[in-house]
Structure 1
Amino acid sequence: MPFRPSHSLLDCELLNLASAFCQLQLPFFFIPLVEMASTTLICDTQPWKDLKAHTEDIKKTHLRDLMNDKERCESMMVEFDGMFLDYSRQCATLETIDKLYKLAEAASLKQQINRMYSGEHINSTENRSVLHVDLRAPRDAVINSDGKHVVPDVWNVLDKIKDFSEKVRNGSWVGATGKPLKDVIAIGIGGSFLGPLFVHAALQTDPEAVEFAKGRQLRFLANVDPIDVARNIAGLSPETTLVVVVSKTFTTAETMLNARTLREWISSALGPSAVPKHMVAVSTNLTLVEKFGIDPNNAFAFWDWVGGRYSVCSAVGVLPLSLQYGFSIVEKFLKGASSIDEHFRSAPFEKNIPVLLGLLSVWNVSFLGYPARAILPYSQALEKFAPHIQQVSMESNGKGVSIDGVPLPYEAGEIDFGEPGTNGQHSFYQLIHQGRVIPCDFIGIVKSQQPVYLKGEVVSNHDELMSNFFAQPDALAYGKTAEQLLKENVSQHLIPHKTFSGNRPSLSLLLPSLNAYNIGQLLASYEHRVTVEGFVWGINSFDQWGVELGKSLATQVRKQLNASRTKSEPVEGFNFSTTTLLTRYLQRWRYDLSEILEIHGNLGKKMIIPPSSQMHTHV
């Protein structure tokens, strides 16, 4: 069947592609068929076109006027299981929201959600199901993947984690010298690091979690930079440390180098035979786990239908978090996430928090032209939330083609960043108020984890914090006019500098508290928000091919560094810029035995790392 492009912008791209393959002189059967590119893009649908036309009307409307419509505002407030969403400060009317629902229908959003929950291979480029919702499903739930009921497998791993973590915590599992393992270092990178770190940071000051974590430490080692290693082992003893190595394939370059480094730290202090008592794995590659020196019985599985950035509810996060806080706390976190999973699957769109969040993101990015989003939690406990969602969102939806490989002629994907309030107010809020328009998510907590009331103060510390949470969205929406400044007798020459245009969109999400359950709710809401965006944009939110190119090029550089260090070979095979940089790096920093220090089992004692090739076999 001949290719029939549905979008005229593709013609030149396809001709260029065909020409390029012809120049390669590949056999005919090697030339990829572009039949899949005939899929209609969402921008070709009538609801998209209607929203494009509607955008012109919205641009003539100010939030000052929209906020005067009580009926509109009331219709833009949704509550579920203690969570309260207010999106009335979005640059949108009720007509806008209705048109977004029609866009969702055109994108078959409901059907796409059902396909995900039913285990279909919606990650088409990797031919995989996307079932991170299974990781927190109730024990009696029935969810299939490739014809297999997978929930029992999930709970088998959870039960194994519960049993193991309780043994470590109660002292029945001890280290090689008989001492309890009270300190845990989890080694992982990307989704194997950011998600668990976010949950850990959020639980660290929760009163219930604090009680369960007494006398214990949990640290996360991600960066291959040796500085990260040094900081993680500082103040720890190998005798009381358990290392969790998180790598599905057990081949992740950065993770495995860090794992070998800590293995050396342990074995140099306690002997090689101590490694199985001080290191466990989260992996499916039992052969490499055993070869590394870890007992495969102490490997905790997860599955290829779990993407790294969605893996915090698997053994990736559950194991280290259970070791720190106990399985009962982590189970509450899983239940919170599960409550949102069911809400996302079953609630009508007008009451569905993740769906509303996702549709509003599509509106802001693709129609209003606002590419970024600020995530602003007014809780220091959520300091690692924005970095985690940054990865979930940008790795998922940072795509330039549709799920069928068609170049996107519209903007998709958000640039996410954030900082807890009120710190951010003294950092980048200046730009948000008077510079570029950046839609904001304000996240507030009704009950503080650590309330403080000082005698003589007008309000409590938490009330002071929340005063800003409530004020900032209004400041962005209403701004301040020249007329208002004149009435305040502001000097004429300062009026342009003190004028705030307003009309800057935001939404407010209010949680009753920040316990394990609420943390799970928050995480799942944002995970599903990203999924909604991807479904509407028509992209694959569950692959990450953009991560691979740099990694493959780094392999070439690694080989060159080794050849130059060990055989004094010149830098070859790179462009002029990279050749210059590599040569300068090699010439300006030679291995200096007086400066290079090996991590040694006895803290405070330092040994010299042998230079060149010996280093690679030693560590």
Structure 2
Amino acid sequence: MPLRCDQSALWPQLAAHYSSHGQYLDMRQAFAQDAQRFAGFSQSAPHVFADLSKNLWDRDTEALLLDLARDCGLAQHRDAMFAGEAINTTENRAVLHTLLRRPAGLVLPGDVPETAQRLAGVHHTLDAMLQYAEQVRSDAAITDVVNIGIGGSDLGPHMAVRALEEFRIPGKRFHFVSNVDGHELHHVLQGLRPESTLFLVASKTFTTAETMMNAHSALTWFAAQGGRDVARHFAALTTNIEAAGAMGITTTFGFWDWVGGRYSLWSAIGLPIAIAIGAQGFRDFLAGAHAMDEHFRTAPLAQNLPVRLGLLDVWYRNFHGFTSRCIAPYHAALGRYSAYLQQLEMESNGKRVAQDGSLLTCVTSPVLWGEPGTNGQHAFFQMLHQGADVLPLEIVAVRKASHPLPGHQQKLLANALAQTQALMVGKASDDGHRHFPGNRPSTLMLLEALTPASLGALIALQEHRVFVSGSLWGINSFDQWGVELGKVLARDLEARWDSGDVTGLDGSTAGLLQRLRAAPAAWEIVNRL
């Protein structure tokens, strides 16, 4: 088990460095004193160029953080993940989403004996899934594809299909239903015809409450609208073939317990992506991610972009005390990117106990939030520039436009650069309302173009960055027990809905349940009191 960062002898050294130097660092002075700062704190990785120079660190800080990573055994933990060891200790599972994008037959040093068989199974399922995707793409009678899933079965595919809209097949519309709120499904169904719709039900176990509720409602609608041949118009992305068959669904594509939900868009859960961009597009998506995997696996720590980002996250969260990170993609097609990263990082690293179950002495995941630029500039950027809290900003920009409209891309990119510049340099004024303190951190990631390969690399970069910070904190980034309690209590409250029994409930929950069960007339009486 890796050494926890707060138990390393280097942890107090970093604390002392922050107290004597780090908290006083002024990026404007740092650039003035180091002509090579941009070169030293920017780097290329597969499909991604990142500028880390407008952040609150210097070479001494990064050197200490790299020493911390070595002391905590980060490289060994990374290698154990790639090799297929059961690093998900609370569930005794391997963590092998990287295997989903590994080329067929590729053997890596240290692979556990099961890896070859697992990889063969991955490519068998991938080939079958992509063959089915091409069948759907060539079927002109199917005009609408509806993905029904939640969490990792929705966020990743939804984000990627929207991001890659330039590469989508014409003549087909893609819809994503996740919320158990019937408003969402009803709104989608209103524009559909059963004979031209394909429903994809995405749930590994086929027991996810929200997904199964929506799937049954979709089946009911399908029958009520005169739909015929469930087997043709429904497919399941699940390992529970029996449960899918009980619903009349015979086309299924499974995946494995060593694929966590928030890492599953590379698996059969990515079927809507494959239908949207085609088999070759999906293989390019996987290849971009694999290229980033190889960078993370082989690059020295000091030139390893996921490592540097993860170390910066630890520096900001534990020493500067920054509680959140703003995500602002300067590309409208990345409108779901922030939501996707929220699950990836906050579900992975939103933990307060170490792998051995002991309480941590340091905090972990920041809150991630954001919207695409330039929209965010006219909403919350006021707080980034002049608010009392320092909130690091992370921008994703794309050099090549994905549209033919003249002038737009230059204006968009100028805005992206201007925000990072303004956050750092600020503007002095005797009028406090017009004073910008500056010295506020930002990171800019630049893609040449938004393509299946570059998107795959960008997502894999973020996955590995989360791994790095989680590894240093000594937590298990690959379970999510925190989502369970609310589900259990919801089932209990559903059972009480008909009976009205509030025995054992706290006063607030009991009162709210009784109010929600009350007839409309009773509501009017209460409102008049």
CA distance in 1, matches of 2:112, 2:492: 38
- Among 255, 278, 282, which residue is 2:237 paired with? 282
State the 1:269 CA deviation.
2.3
**Following superposition of structure 1 onto structure 2, how do residues 80-479 of structure 1 map, counting pairs within 5 Å?**
80-142=45-107, 147-149=114-116, 150-171=118-139, 180-204=141-165, 206=166, 209-210=167-168, 213-270=169-226, 274-295=229-250, 298-317=251-270, 319-435=271-387, 436-453=389-406, 460-479=407-426
CA distance in 1, matches of 2:358, 2:69: 20
Deviations 1:59-104 (A, max 9, x none): 1221110122212332111112342111111110100010010010
State the 1:231 CA deviation.
1.7
Deviations 1:164-210 (A, max 9, x none): 12222223xxxxxxx82221101100011000011011011x2xx14
State the 1:146 CA deviation.
6.5
Query: Which structure is larger by alpha-carbon Rg, 1 or 2?
Result: 1
Are the equivalent residues in 2 in contact too, given 1:129–1:145 (CA < 8 A)? Answer: no
Structure 1 gap ranges (5+) = 1-35, 172-178, 454-459, 483-491, 591-619
One-letter amino acid of the counterpart of residue 30, structure 2 = L
Q: Secondary structure at the match of 2:43?
A: strand
Q: Secondary structure at the match of 2:154?
A: helix
Q: Secondary structure at the match of 2:405?
A: coil
Are the equivalent residues in 2 in contact too, given 1:117–1:131 (CA < 8 A)? Answer: yes
Runs (4+) of structure 1 moved beyond 4 Å? 143-146
For the structure 1 residues 335 and 226, does the alpha-carbon distance in structure 2 shift closer, same or farther, using more than 3 Å as the test?
A: same
Q: Secondary structure at the match of 2:36?
A: helix
Are the equivalent residues in 1 in contact too, given 2:401–2:409 (CA < 8 A)? Answer: yes
Q: Secondary structure at the match of 2:141?
A: coil
Could you say which residue in structure 1 is the equivalent of 2:9?
A: 46
Could you say which residue in structure 2 is the equivalent of 1:587?
A: 518
Q: Secondary structure at the match of 1:476?
A: helix
One-letter amino acid of the counterpart of residue 18, structure 2 = T
One-letter amino acid of the counterpart of residue 505, structure 1 = P
Are the equivalent residues in 1 in contact too, given 2:47–2:457 (CA < 8 A)? Answer: no
Deviations 1:404-452 (A, max 9, x none): 1111111211100111111001111111111110111111111011141
Are the equivalent residues in 2 in contact too, given 1:249–1:283 (CA < 8 A)? Answer: yes
CA distance in 2, matches of 1:89, 1:354: 17
Q: Secondary structure at the match of 1:141?
A: coil
Structure 1-normalised TM-score?
0.81
Are the equivalent residues in 1 in contact too, given 2:161–2:272 (CA < 8 A)? Answer: no
One-letter amino acid of the counterpart of residue 450, structure 1 = H
One-letter amino acid of the counterpart of residue 237, structure 2 = V
Could you say which residue in structure 1 is the equivalent of 2:448?
A: 512
For the structure 1 residues 96 and 148, does the alpha-carbon distance in structure 2 shift closer, same or farther, using more than 3 Å as the test?
A: closer
Deviations 1:273-294 (A, max 9, x none): 6211111101111111111211
* Aligned residue pairs, count: 515
Are the equivalent residues in 1 in contact too, given 2:159–2:340 (CA < 8 A)? Answer: yes
Cα RMSD, aligned residues only: 1.6
One-letter amino acid of the counterpart of residue 127, structure 2 = D
> What is the percent sequence identity of the aligned residues?
41
Could you say which residue in structure 2 is the equivalent of 1:456?
A: none
CA distance in 1, matches of 2:470, 2:123: 29
CA distance in 2, matches of 1:338, 1:586: 52
Are the equivalent residues in 1 in contact too, given 2:88–2:478 (CA < 8 A)? Answer: yes
State the 1:588 CA deviation.
4.2
Structure 2 gap ranges (5+) = 522-529
Are the equivalent residues in 2 in contact too, given 1:169–1:182 (CA < 8 A)? Answer: no
State the 1:40 CA deviation.
5.9
